[in-house]
């Protein structure tokens, strides 16, 4: 065999191997912790767990991916918190994670740059089941978390941040919007730099929003910091609120039953909060506005200049 022929044969062998080599080099960022198996797409990992219970670990990197969970109990966990970023991926024209299984838990993930034509693009769209979100970041999207209705369901958000979310164009999207769920618990979380809508809008029957901060000083066209449009029982305690200048609606920090009375708000506990206007903002407003006929016994709250405690509307 001549030298030229040997070179040609070797070159052809190399070319034929390239597709396999390229396939082997494609990242497999999703690992099911219980089995150790890895997957190229989030959907493949979710479908493998199916109706069972499992944990999907997400490798560091920027992933333009999404998945729909139809069943089961799945934990979505960053292998290293704060390094796994879902950037703009959308399933079903809704969200990066579309959840309608028994339960889901999200840990240490970042969701960003999510938008869809109907202006409801979210990091998480919860359509059924329980949801827990821990140590995660939602930023620069139309919404952070959006849910449907599940009166028996439970949502818990802890140590998470919501920044640069919301839009009011044809309709309003919010940092988080909770439909008619059984309960919403928000603890040790931060809401800031809203771009429209409310920071927390919840139709849940029971709420517990505690030890969190609402920094509206860099907000743009925002509304209430907490909106309970159908009323709710529970507590709003030990939070810090700062209202900024650029508001679509600055008439209250917390709104109760502004759209009608679906649930009693009698005994809703609001105390231990610190509320003020941002530096340079000069207006008169109210900390709590109540449209229901229920008595809300305000406890002691620290209110800055320009704030009145309560307005019955």
Identify the bridge partners of residue 134 per DSSP, sorted by sequence position.
107, 158
State phi, psi for 258 to the nearest 5 degrees: -70, -20
In angstroms, the CA 26 to CA 12 distance is 22
- Both tokens of 201, joined, read 């809008």
pLDDT of residue 25: 60
Rg of the chain taking only CA atoms, in angstroms: 23
Q: How confident is the model at residue 218 (pLDDT cuts 50, 70, 90)?
A: very high
**Mean pLDDT across the stretch 225-234?**
98
**Mean pLDDT across the stretch 234-259?**
97
Q: How confident is the model at residue 2 (pLDDT cuts 50, 70, 90)?
A: low
In angstroms, the CA 229 to CA 174 distance is 13
**Beta pairing, strands 285-290 & 252-256:** parallel
pLDDT digits 0-9 by tens, 75-95? 999 999 999 999 999 999 999
User: First CA to last CA across the chain, in angstroms?
Assistant: 95
Q: Is the pLDDT of residue 15 over 50?
A: no
Q: How confident is the model at residue 297 (pLDDT cuts 50, 70, 90)?
A: confident
Give residues with Cβ within 8 angstroms of 47, minimum separation 6: none
Residue 137 host element (H or E): strand 137-139
Which stretch of 4-18, 22-36, 160-174, 178-192 has the lowest confidence by average pLDDT? 4-18
HEC secondary structure over 155-170: EEEECCEEECCCEECC
In angstroms, the CA 81 to CA 15 distance is 40
**Mean pLDDT across the stretch 23-33?**
81
**Mean pLDDT across the stretch 202-218?**
98
SS3 90: coil
Residue pair 193/163 in contact (Cβ under 8 Å)? The answer is: yes
Tokens 């506990």 appear where? 269
In angstroms, the CA 201 to CA 217 distance is 19
- Both tokens of 6, joined, read 């040997």
Q: Is the pLDDT of residue 11 over 50?
A: no
In angstroms, the CA 63 to CA 110 distance is 10
In angstroms, the CA 313 to CA 290 distance is 6
The pTM of this model reads: 0.91
pLDDT digits 0-9 by tens, 125-164? 999 999 999 999 999 999 999 999 999 999 999 999 999 9
pLDDT of residue 20: 41
Q: Is the pLDDT of residue 6 over 50?
A: no
- Both tokens of 242, joined, read 């700062």
**Mean pLDDT across the stretch 16-33?**
66
pLDDT digits 0-9 by tens, 182-205? 999 999 999 999 999 999 999 999
Q: Is the pLDDT of residue 22 over 70?
A: no
Identify the bridge partners of residue 157 per DSSP, sorted by sequence position.
133, 186
DSSP letters for 164-214? S--EESSSEE-SEEE-SEEEEEEES-EEE---SB-SEEE--SEEEEES-EE
Identify the bridge partners of residue 86 per DSSP, sorted by sequence position.
63, 111
Q: Identify the structural domains of the chain with CATH numbers, from first to last.
A: 69-312 (2.160.20.10)
């Amino acid at each position: 065999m001549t030298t030229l022929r040997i070179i040609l044969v070797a070159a052809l062998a190399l070319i034929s191997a390239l597709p396999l080599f390229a396939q082997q080099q494609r990242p497999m960022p999703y690992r099911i912790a219980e089995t150790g198996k890895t997957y190229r797409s989030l959907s493949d990992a979710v479908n493998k767990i199916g109706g069972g219970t499992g944990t999907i670990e997400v490798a560091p990197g920027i992933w333009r991916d999404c998945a729909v969970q139809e069943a089961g109990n799945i934990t979505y966990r960053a292998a290293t918190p704060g390094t796994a970023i879902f950037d703009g991926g959308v399933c079903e024209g809704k969200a990066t994670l579309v959840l309608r299984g028994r339960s889901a838990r999200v840990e240490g993930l970042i969701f960003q740059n999510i938008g869809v034509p109907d202006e409801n693009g979210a990091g998480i769209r919860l359509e059924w089941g329980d949801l827990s979100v821990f140590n995660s970041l939602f930023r620069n999207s139309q919404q952070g978390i959006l849910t449907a209705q599940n009166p028996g369901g439970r949502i818990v958000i802890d140590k998470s941040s919501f920044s640069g979310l919301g839009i009011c164009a044809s309709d309003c999207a919010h940092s988080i919007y909770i439909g008619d769920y059984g309960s919403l618990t928000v603890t040790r979380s931060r809401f800031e730099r809203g771009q429209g809508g409310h920071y927390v809008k919840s139709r849940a029957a029971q709420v517990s929003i505690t030890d969190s901060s609402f920094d509206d000083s860099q907000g743009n066209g925002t509304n209430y910091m907490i909106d309970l449009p159908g009323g709710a029982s529970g507590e709003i305690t030990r939070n810090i609120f700062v209202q900024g200048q650029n508001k679509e609606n600055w008439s209250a920090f917390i709104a109760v039953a502004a759209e009608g009375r679906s649930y009693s708000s009698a005994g809703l506990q609001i105390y231990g909060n610190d509320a003020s206007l941002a530096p340079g903002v000069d207006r008169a407003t109210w900390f709590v506005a109540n449209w229901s006929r229920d008595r809300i016994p305000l406890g002691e709250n620290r209110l800055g200049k320009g704030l009145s405690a309560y307005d019955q509307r």
